[in-house]
Structure 1
């Protein structure tokens, strides 16, 4: 099994660890410390060695941070984790703080009149630190970069750095050689009159060089740093033992491999201007450059936008991955439909079964994240991860939310379906139908070229809003091509200002959650495309749906759907049957025909 069910959260360990950290801070002359969920590469997903926030507090979410002060330790969490955090931290020692509604600077000013608050400059971006510094101007609180991370100083059994071997991502799947990518991006540097660019994000590095790795669970990325020069050469800083001969031959003579330890010293010897992404590179990078007199040119990571805009080969490969995954998902849904009414299923047994159907494809590289399988009230925990301690039976009359995904060599998938076990009730069907209407709205929309995710996010929420409901997460995140299941900069979110461009893959996942009762989420992946000509032929964008699996018709209040929504749903289900019917077993085909029948 790729997924395990142990509980990494240790709320009982939080208080003594917090006491030890405060003692360490006192010895360092500090009154506080910032503990982010981040590593030196600033990726969203981190290796076990870098789970400092989890180790200290017990909180296992994929985003958040802790600010430790003398009398209080605030765990800052967004809307996805406000239910989860209360079960994972010792509330006598740690205080959950709703973020971003409560800004960290405002919170610190309220809790600390004066003092020195330390931070590790390798674990925070310049943008992040500057924002906090501005909010603390005129106070007695000073931010202090430290060379020794005090959490590491008290974490006696801290895991070793990850050691996953790199491997080549084939050209037929990448669609463009790394030489061509390097040349294309280097031309951009020359036009900007920049000598080099620093690449710190693991998925950017892997995309640029057409390699993949195994340093982060569920994400096929390699830990390292890269310097892209304006002549298309790359200096790659990585543990050399991770690269076998095949990878070295693939990289070729224009990519020089160096030990990680040489990165900082090489920065000092660069000729500027050097591009650094203020929002993704560690603060330490620009500090080293500036201290050495190297001119820093602030700009976007040169790989992020090209990586987000998938080429034709990547999209074709991703389509195939989704059809394969869709067939496995349909086999699972048929199995679940047959087994759940019999009783005896638990969240863990459901997760194990789903992974088994994906393994049966003989193409599964890994799952793309730990499957979120929430029965009844556990479905309301947005990023719930079942453990042996929380494992709940799948009961008659409840909803079951299953959010899962897979990593195949040809693509990354992410799909959510919420299904009924027995008769969950009229209110659950009403809420489900509103969520489905939101998904359909995003699927059907045409929008002017140049609009960003924030401009269409509200479409998914309209039917919920008019019922006085909403959900506390974005409507969609970017997705990589056999890379990270969460990819930037593209998003469908009220805070996303990045224009949506052809080739960007996103999730479409509205939801509704009632704490202590049930959760509903529905998710397909979509890809941005130029919309076919229509009307006065303005330049418009639309979405192609990549994910194929039926929605639970038992939960749909058909009378609430508009004619256009009904047409979309019938057409989608007809396409599911047409695309997947020949890929599933005979017994499942019969079930699929019923599941996809016109409403």
Structure 2
């Protein structure tokens, strides 16, 4: 629902922790150390045990890292977190660094003299990351040193235990393919490319492959583990065996072996090559262990990533069903908020109260969990792109505020992610122009048809063009991949300037342009979309998007004069579909509200 801090996250604790880390580094003859957000699985969300960056610095964003030297501690964050980081780190100890504009190698070259030694934990950085940093430091005289143990762990005396969430099966009718068939398919890929085995390090890849789900990481129903799949389809899973009850082991069968994590090192050093390992996601230490025995490594993408990204008909059907239930819950929330907006002076309402209400509504619709910590920002908090309300930041919603609600649910058959922006009572009409431009960008991406081979980088500008026409933009990608009952942020496909992976049928992505005015308000409108084939024209094989998300888009903030007839037609058609699919799922009061919220745009009344 919302992110809470315990007393150990008091900002006053972070400078002493930094001082303690520097003492450990000096004792190890290191001039600095890199503290990433990532864990050994390179996931966006990490278990409490692996939250080293937040523990050390106070920064809680989902991307970034800190580089500590004897006299500097730079917290590197991208455009999503420029506002947030300033409110979370102690400026007397930590300096926010704009990234990727500032490259870590450039920063290190200025921060350290020639001969500097920078330590890193080889379990927390991918091979590609280390290789690129080494190349960038070439000629600087600065050396990267792989540390056998993490110095942050050495001073984190009350570090939480490793997660041990119980594993459950993902139903075959929802998965659309048995685990045995999936293993055979991946084994066939290895055989075709002449590889003896593949090492899997991404929890969502392992969870998808074996049709299992877990409870190791907040909001993501994945099983934290490593795995090795061999050319015969046999899989060894390295994790805490206590997470796998006997009935799960029986369902997986004899071809799937569950082993403790400390069995991974001997397994890696006894593999026959070539072994497929993904340099973009596998830890540097995985490569080092395999190479220590002279075993051949075939560097290639995780063989599960693309099959997982291209959802089959059963997975898409589950996602559609989840979005219908989610759309009902969102409609109930929006109806409730409209009723509250006229009473804010008499009945105070806070961000946490709204977050709690939304979670209650989703719980009534059968969620297993929310899919990420709700981003609910009123007024100026809405301008913080990935704002997480806490007890310390909880803001009272004021009349006239613009409210941004970005949220999602993990349902028994799918994952949702939706953002809606709405006014709380009478608002400044100047908001209508940027809101309408954001909506036009979302519609442009929803309507586009494109030839096979087109990637997210080719489509990103479509969502930005209406904002660019006003000199506006946003500092985040336009869309991310979404898992089917898995991680709400799923690789490898994205809609962004840097994504060159061609889109394929079955891929599910978000469509979420935005606009943020620091200190005033934030706007984002987000639907999930699935790639599908469309009727071929001019002999070309064409693709397009089906919108999965079903909830009203606020009409009061729209300036219809800025919109084309085609854009208005798309919005009216979308709202007609929302009415048709959601109205049977809600009570009479919400249905009456929904009827008005989904009227054609020309009937503003």
Looking at structure 2, the residues matched to 379 and 425 of structure 1 have their Cα atoms a distance apart, in angstroms, of 15
Q: Secondary structure at the match of 1:256?
A: strand
* Alignment partner, residue 585 of structure 2: 583
Looking at structure 1, the residues matched to 24 and 59 of structure 2 have their Cα atoms a distance apart, in angstroms, of 21
Q: Is the 8 A contact 2:127 2:284 kept in 1?
A: yes
How far residue 426 of structure 1 moved from its aligned partner, in angstroms, is 2.1
TM-score (norm 1): 0.98
Q: Which of 373, 380, 388 in structure 2 is aligned with 1:370?
A: 373
1:98-177 correspondence to structure 2 within 5 Å: 98-114=98-114, 115-177=116-178
* Alignment partner, residue 385 of structure 1: 388
How far residue 3 of structure 1 moved from its aligned partner, in angstroms, is 4.3
1:111-510 correspondence to structure 2 within 5 Å: 111-114=111-114, 115-343=116-344, 344-361=348-365, 363-510=366-513
Looking at structure 2, the residues matched to 122 and 341 of structure 1 have their Cα atoms a distance apart, in angstroms, of 53
Cα deviation code 1:446-473 (max 9, x no counterpart): 1111111000000000011111110000
Q: Secondary structure at the match of 1:547?
A: coil
Q: Secondary structure at the match of 2:16?
A: helix
Q: Which of 543, 546, 565 in structure 2 is aligned with 1:544?
A: 546
Q: Is the 8 A contact 1:377 1:517 kept in 2?
A: yes
Cα deviation code 1:236-279 (max 9, x no counterpart): 11111110012101110111111111001111011000000000
How far residue 423 of structure 1 moved from its aligned partner, in angstroms, is 2.3
Looking at structure 2, the residues matched to 380 and 3 of structure 1 have their Cα atoms a distance apart, in angstroms, of 17
How far residue 9 of structure 1 moved from its aligned partner, in angstroms, is 4.6
Looking at structure 2, the residues matched to 52 and 45 of structure 1 have their Cα atoms a distance apart, in angstroms, of 12
Cα deviation code 1:205-240 (max 9, x no counterpart): 000000000000110011111101011111111111
Q: Secondary structure at the match of 1:554?
A: coil
Q: Is the 8 A contact 2:63 2:77 kept in 1?
A: yes
Supply the RMSD in Å over aligned alpha carbons. 1.0
Which blocks of at least 5 consecutive residues in structure 2 are unaligned? none
Cα deviation code 1:33-86 (max 9, x no counterpart): 000011111211110000000000000001100011111111010110000000
- 2:563 corresponds to 1:554: no
Looking at structure 2, the residues matched to 12 and 462 of structure 1 have their Cα atoms a distance apart, in angstroms, of 44
Q: Is the 8 A contact 1:9 1:60 kept in 2?
A: no
1:81-96 correspondence to structure 2 within 5 Å: 81-96=81-96
Q: Secondary structure at the match of 1:437?
A: helix
Which blocks of at least 5 consecutive residues in structure 1 are unaligned? none
Looking at structure 2, the residues matched to 456 and 237 of structure 1 have their Cα atoms a distance apart, in angstroms, of 39
* Alignment partner, residue 595 of structure 1: 597
How far residue 380 of structure 1 moved from its aligned partner, in angstroms, is 0.3
More displaced stretch, 418-427 vs 218-227: 418-427
Looking at structure 2, the residues matched to 9 and 134 of structure 1 have their Cα atoms a distance apart, in angstroms, of 36
Cα deviation code 1:484-521 (max 9, x no counterpart): 00000010000111111110110000000011010000
Cα deviation code 1:281-340 (max 9, x no counterpart): 000001000011111110000111100000000000110000011011101110111112
Cα deviation code 1:512-561 (max 9, x no counterpart): 0011010000000000111223x414111100000011111110001110
Looking at structure 2, the residues matched to 239 and 441 of structure 1 have their Cα atoms a distance apart, in angstroms, of 47
Looking at structure 2, the residues matched to 424 and 282 of structure 1 have their Cα atoms a distance apart, in angstroms, of 50
- 2:96 corresponds to 1:71: no
Looking at structure 1, the residues matched to 9 and 399 of structure 2 have their Cα atoms a distance apart, in angstroms, of 30
Looking at structure 2, the residues matched to 190 and 38 of structure 1 have their Cα atoms a distance apart, in angstroms, of 32
How far residue 4 of structure 1 moved from its aligned partner, in angstroms, is 5.2
Looking at structure 2, the residues matched to 506 and 337 of structure 1 have their Cα atoms a distance apart, in angstroms, of 29
Cα deviation code 1:352-399 (max 9, x no counterpart): 1111111111x1100001111100000000111111111111111110
1:34-45 correspondence to structure 2 within 5 Å: 34-45=34-45
How far residue 175 of structure 1 moved from its aligned partner, in angstroms, is 0.4
How far residue 101 of structure 1 moved from its aligned partner, in angstroms, is 1.0
Q: Is the 8 A contact 1:122 1:284 kept in 2?
A: yes
Q: Is the 8 A contact 1:277 1:301 kept in 2?
A: yes
Looking at structure 2, the residues matched to 536 and 579 of structure 1 have their Cα atoms a distance apart, in angstroms, of 34
Looking at structure 2, the residues matched to 69 and 445 of structure 1 have their Cα atoms a distance apart, in angstroms, of 49
* Alignment partner, residue 15 of structure 2: 15
Looking at structure 1, the residues matched to 146 and 527 of structure 2 have their Cα atoms a distance apart, in angstroms, of 42
Q: Which of 510, 514, 518 in structure 2 is aligned with 1:515?
A: 518
Looking at structure 1, the residues matched to 478 and 290 of structure 2 have their Cα atoms a distance apart, in angstroms, of 38
Q: Secondary structure at the match of 1:456?
A: helix
Q: Is the 8 A contact 2:205 2:305 kept in 1?
A: yes
Looking at structure 2, the residues matched to 437 and 100 of structure 1 have their Cα atoms a distance apart, in angstroms, of 28
Q: Is the 8 A contact 1:9 1:59 kept in 2?
A: no
Looking at structure 2, the residues matched to 554 and 256 of structure 1 have their Cα atoms a distance apart, in angstroms, of 57
Q: Which of 527, 531, 534 in structure 1 is aligned with 2:534?
A: 531
Looking at structure 1, the residues matched to 340 and 394 of structure 2 have their Cα atoms a distance apart, in angstroms, of 17
Q: Is the 8 A contact 2:3 2:388 kept in 1?
A: no
Q: Secondary structure at the match of 2:74?
A: strand
Q: Secondary structure at the match of 2:157?
A: coil
Q: Is the 8 A contact 2:2 2:352 kept in 1?
A: no
Looking at structure 2, the residues matched to 56 and 349 of structure 1 have their Cα atoms a distance apart, in angstroms, of 30
